[in-house]
């Protein structure tokens, strides 16, 4: 690769800091690396992704690769940025949810499915379908962007992202150019504060109504409901539908497993009605291991589902019920906007800043 000395010199001079102090917060290692990108020929290599220009050189990092620099350190990405989930501290809670789903279901299919197949083959088939649906909705809830509002540093690195967020969220004109030096929060008009707009000093952005900052994940989440450690993610505007479907499918799975276990414990056998399952003590123990945890888990799911039905009927979120403060404006939980984090987009070189 040939380097033009004159071009390199002009670009090096343009990358030097100005004499006047900048109001922008430091961009840490991402900005410090940017002075080397022009030398590598990455300054003018651009095309369009998500409607914004970006560098396409293989060495230009993607958003998920530098998220620790531009976003929350608690958010984790997997599958090359295609999936986003919560902090590591939720691991044991998440494993507990998987345990109560997989272990009773596995014992059910191991010790009850054969007998139930002889009674009514639809019972184990429907249980298997509901189990697959439960696992699917759990993964969607855990690995979907809940509605993370990009931090100011990320908006600076992706040209056009700030405008995209403002347009999709229909931000008022007097708040679109609201900025801060990272130390002093801007003065929001009283009218906007009454409507629910707030300044987040951590993310350094204006939060729309019903948006809250999650201390567990370290992100501002659109229409924030709560942080659920059992799914290892926040429950917000973009995954609330998946979370509701997960609760419904889990309830159906619990009932299916409980009914199948009850039929097995009853000893009913169409071909051999005189035989009873209680003659095998070991089998009874295994069936109880299925039934008792399933019953306890089922009661918890019923209570949680009833609570969220109440929330849907009243148009509130969990946080609004717990805090007693409700914002009349804002989006519904079932209005699903596009994701703003663009984890696989490549960060832009700050040559024009």
Residues labelled as active-site residues: 228
The packing angle between helices 240-266 and 281-314, to 10°, is 150
Distances (CA, A) of 167 to 145, 186, 329, 340, 346: 19, 21, 17, 12, 22
CA angle 135, 136, 142 (to 5 degrees): 85
C-beta separation of 268 from 322 below 8 A: no
Task: Report the SS3 class of residue 52.
Answer: strand
> 307-340 in b/e burial notation, b at 16+ Cβ within 10 A?
ebeebeeeebbbbbbeeeeebeebbebeebeebb
* Residue 224 backbone zone (phi > 0: left; psi -120 to 50: alpha; other: beta): beta
C-beta separation of 82 from 345 below 8 A: no
234 forms beta bridges with 227
Q: 210, 232, 228, 201: which is closest to 304 by C-alpha?
A: 228
Two structure tokens written together for 148:
């993370």
Task: Report the SS3 class of residue 192.
Answer: helix
> 251-276 in b/e burial notation, b at 16+ Cβ within 10 A?
bbbbbbbbebbebbbeeebeeeeeee
């Amino acid at each position: 690769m040939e380097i033009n000395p004159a071009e390199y010199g002009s670009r090096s001079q343009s990358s030097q800091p100005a004499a006047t102090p900048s109001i922008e917060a430091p961009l840490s290692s991402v900005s410090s690396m940017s002075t080397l990108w022009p030398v590598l020929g990455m300054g003018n290599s651009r095309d369009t992704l998500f409607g914004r220009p970006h560098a396409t050189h293989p060495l230009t990092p993607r958003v998920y690769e530098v998220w620790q620099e531009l976003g929350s350190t608690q958010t984790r990405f997997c599958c090359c940025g295609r999936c986003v989930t919560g902090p590591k501290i939720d691991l044991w809670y998440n494993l507990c949810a998987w345990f109560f789903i997989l272990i009773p279901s596995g014992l059910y299919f191991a010790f009850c499915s054969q007998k139930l197949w002889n009674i009514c083959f639809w019972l184990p088939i429907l249980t298997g379908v509901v189990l697959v649906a439960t696992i699917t909705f759990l993964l969607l809830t855990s690995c979907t962007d809940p509605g993370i509002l990009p931090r100011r540093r990320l908006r600076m690195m992706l040209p056009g992202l700030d405008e995209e967020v403002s347009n999709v969220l229909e931000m008022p004109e007097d708040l679109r150019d609201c900025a801060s030096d990272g130390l002093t929060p801007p003065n929001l008009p009283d009218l906007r504060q009454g409507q629910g707009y707030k300044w987040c000093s951590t993310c350094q952005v204006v939060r729309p109504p019903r948006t809250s900052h999650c201390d567990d994940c370290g992100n501002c989440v659109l229409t924030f409901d709560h942080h659920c450690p059992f799914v290892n993610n926040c429950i917000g505007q973009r995954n609330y539908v998946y979370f509701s479907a997960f609760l419904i499918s889990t309830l159906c799975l619990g009932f299916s497993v409980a009914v199948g276990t009850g039929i097995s414990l009853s000893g009913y056998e169409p071909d051999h009605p005189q035989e009873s399952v209680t003659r095998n003590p070991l089998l009874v123990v295994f069936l109880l291991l299925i039934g008792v945890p399933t019953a306890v888990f089922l009661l918890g799911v019923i209570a949680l589902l009833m609570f969220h039905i109440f929330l849907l009927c009243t148009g509130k979120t969990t946080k609004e019920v717990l805090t007693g403060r409700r914002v009349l404006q804002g989006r519904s939980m079932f209005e699903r906007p596009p994701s703003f984090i663009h984890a696989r987009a490549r960060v832009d070189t700050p040559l024009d800043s």
